[in-house]
A and B are shown apart, each in its own frame.
Chain A
Amino acid sequence: MKYLYFPGCSAEATGKAYDISTRAMMEKLGVELVELDDWNCCGATSYFSVRELDSFAIAARNLAIAQEMGDDEVCVICNACYTTLAKTNRYMAEDPRIFEAVNGALGAVGRSYDGKVKVRHIVDILVNDIGLEAVTERVSRRLTGLRVAPYYGCQFSRPMGSFDDVQLPTTMDRLFEAMGADVITDFDAKTDCCGGMMMLTREDAALRLCHELLTAARQYKADVLVAACPLCEMNLEGYQPRVNKTYGTDFNIPVMYFTQLAGLALGADPKQLAMEKQVVSCDPVLAAIPA
């Protein structure tokens, strides 16, 4: 198996561990990831609300490159990238004017895009292409007894919900159940917003959201929160100290990229999964699961 891979900007900075663990995990699954040539930011910024058409063009450039590389689908790991690229496809398909305008822009740099490259979230690929059986077969370190709270975030299945339920996504639940974890399936904060980029502009608002999420995780007695998006992961983990300071709480909940925990179950070494990069120590998690 081989996939074209779009890491996204965060994967080169705050979300480095996500990129590293993704590659490690896929290697364990025998899946080859071919990084997209000369890719650029997906455009998932406030720019979308400033100049929408330009943002479409920015996103479409990546898809155009994927098309040039002769692939009809591209794997993304970030919820924001996923939504943005999928949205671009959808708008180009539904509005010929956008289609023409975007291709006009791409034409200026000698590219064109037919709108046919499918955007695939890595969770989608894991559960629907590789399949839970195949994954389970390769599990060498079952996550028995570990209370996992899968956190999907708001852009995982919304608004499109292409491969999972819009309101109540369950793909990661099923993935970690297959890996033997004690998954908190009724974790009802699983699609609440983490605050996203608000952390930079309206920190108070973002912190409140994180506080809610962490409280929920605690009330559901989660050993670990797993995220499928660099921004979610950073807000929930990196800002725990500030949440504690603001709300007088004492959260110290491990938050991991789902690829890290899955990689662990698939027998990857914590180093390969860049787990030392985590702000909140993952040792309790490692301790909780039998080696």
Chain B
Amino acid sequence: MSKFKFAMYWAGSCGGCEIAVLEIKEKILEVDANFDVVFWPVAVDFKYKDVEGYDDGYIDVCLFNGCIRNSENEYMANLLRKKSKVLVAFGACATMGGIPGLINEATAQELKELVYTKNPSIDNPEGVFPQEKYEVPEGELDLPHLYDTVKTLGQCVDVDYFMPGCPPEAHQIAAVLDVVTAALKGEAALPPKGAVVGVAPKSCCDECKRVKEEKKIGGFRRIWEFFPDPEKCLLEQGVVCMGPATRAGCGARCTTVGMACRGCYGAPDGVIDQGAKMLSTLASIVDAPTPEEIAEIAATLPDPVGTFYRFGLASSLLRRAKV
């Protein structure tokens, strides 16, 4: 029988997801055994027009990583949706906007100014900016239109499965690929549409081995400020750990090595806004004799948006800053 068709695309993201796929090591051979790669720019040389040429639904599985940052991303999202049977939002950026989503605090213009003029390391006296259209002797060149608002894949097209993580953990990728392969072979059923895959139930704290007790903190600390107790829950030590508001599945790798959870696996089921929820959790455990003091301490946390929405701003209730 002919192999199944596999595609992977890299939209607004760092590329970590692409590498993560290779993290599955020898399992990549199984992938090769079961799939023909029909589109995977980072690995194999295909052009967009090749994809445009495919019949709708030609691709069996497409792992789409990265957020929708510009018109090209959106175009490819729509195209791959059309051409794929199973479209997976792969990684934190595709599922919830990810780190690039933080630009939703500003606008595309502000970003350009920062990058091309305001940045201290930039020498750009003429204030040259990239143009979307540019005439050259050979004709007109154009660049994709940079959006003000980073969107998740799900905010643009209909997504079959969501697989969070920055990047998704290798063992989870392997597991998901197994399920999909089995399903395609008719040996197993696919998970319900819209499911979050490659994750574990409960929150990150469930996988975190640290000893947890009642939490009352008198202030916030960063791990470079002190030597955290290796056994004790980081939150109890005043370190802002997103664990309680983050879906399990990564195996609590960060907290295991003494780093606070950043929340890259997104919110657990039943939480519609990871940042707001974590804010509530963190502020709730601030303890002091009077409400005034509590308020004072709570307000000392720098950069709440960057802390609570490090990955989830684009998928949060408010989605972006006021423009």
Chain A in direct contact with chain B (Cβ < 8 angstroms): no
Which A residues form the contact surface with B (CB < 8 A)? none
Which B residues form the contact surface with A (CB < 8 A)? none
